[in-house]
Structure 1
Amino acid sequence: MKKLITLLTLAASLLLASPAFAYEVKPGDTMSKIARDHKLTLQELADVNPQISNLNLIYIGQNINTTKSIRANEPKIEEPVNLSLSDDEIDLLARLVRAEARTEPLEGKIAVACVVLNRVESPQFPDTIKEVIYAPGQFQPVKNGEINRPADEESIQAVKEALTDQRQLAPGALFFYNPAIATSSWLDSRATTLVIAQHVFKK
């Protein structure tokens, strides 16, 4: 009996020391990438890693919990509809992505494209890419003419990736802004879905 208790204690200590769902951070990892790779939203990953106060600050070798917490009555995030865009729509969206996020990493560009796609699906906004982008007062590049400049390759890639399972990068996000150069008390009051580089994404 004593031997059995010893074995059980040892097994329990090994389980505690080596959590089955711990992921070790590798070079090039970000919290968003880890979330995508483990089929989690960034918020879900943040919820199960309360020890990480800054999602943009993780280090190589750090253990990240990748278990999905189950909360009672938690609203389920609906899977986005797979949209099929014409070449003209891809070009227009890529031009907006270039204008809005040319200094952002690829991940940030994909998230900007996701915002437009989320708006197309939302009853709060028009139903087409063109109508969403050219809606009055929505995007600065439309007002200043930057929307008319050709898209670069990375922006085109970002749009195409946003049409795949990468749509889960920014679930529910309908707005984004750079708080360093723009202020909005209205946006500040809305829930943040994720932060990538200089852009804050909001529901």
Structure 2
Amino acid sequence: MPKYRSNPTPWPNGGYYFLRFIQFICSIGTIGTLSYFVYYLVRARFGIPYEFIILYVAALLSLLNIVTTGVAKCCGALNAKFALAFDVLILAAWTVAFALLHRAMHGLIFSDCTDGHWGTAEGNGVYVCRLYKATWAFAVAAIAFYLGSVILDIVVIRRVGNHKYVVANPKSMQQTKQYTPNYQQDTSYGSGGLPSHG
């Protein structure tokens, strides 16, 4: 019985998984730093800045997107247009969240994390400064690598549109030769209904 090859994937696995891995790191890093801030803000009975909430939502949506598209790709069912729609949505969420975060802390991003700038209260000032900068960096990296995913999605859509990836064996389950009975042979009653050989 002949063996048929499975369809080739239009996704370059190396590029796809590299982008998703960095996006995963950025999302987890952002959630981790924000969780630290939120914990101490709640503990001190301060309100949680809406910039943090929007950034948190962007990171959670990013994780959901990574899991959803990852499972779809492993099952061979990841549609490039579907992936593009979600990647654009997540890119927009990260961009808005980053813009709000940058506006709120623009004067702190390029300052030195020293006791002179951040004080020495309980010795946490420098640590908080570094976490702020880490959160900012995670957001920048997430935007950059989601932009990379959008570009990759567009490349894959164009590949599929150029018919470089078609069904491997479109006729594998179809009958390729139709049987036609030979009515020229003698199948009379006298021969028992069997073809005559003499």
| TM-score after normalising by structure 2 | 0.22
Question: Is the radius of gyration larger for structure 1 or structure 2?
Answer: 2
Higher normalized contact order (CA 8 Å, seq sep 6+, divided by chain length): 2
Could you say which structure has the higher strand fraction?
Answer: 1
Could you say which structure has the higher helix fraction?
Answer: 2
| TM-score after normalising by structure 1 | 0.22
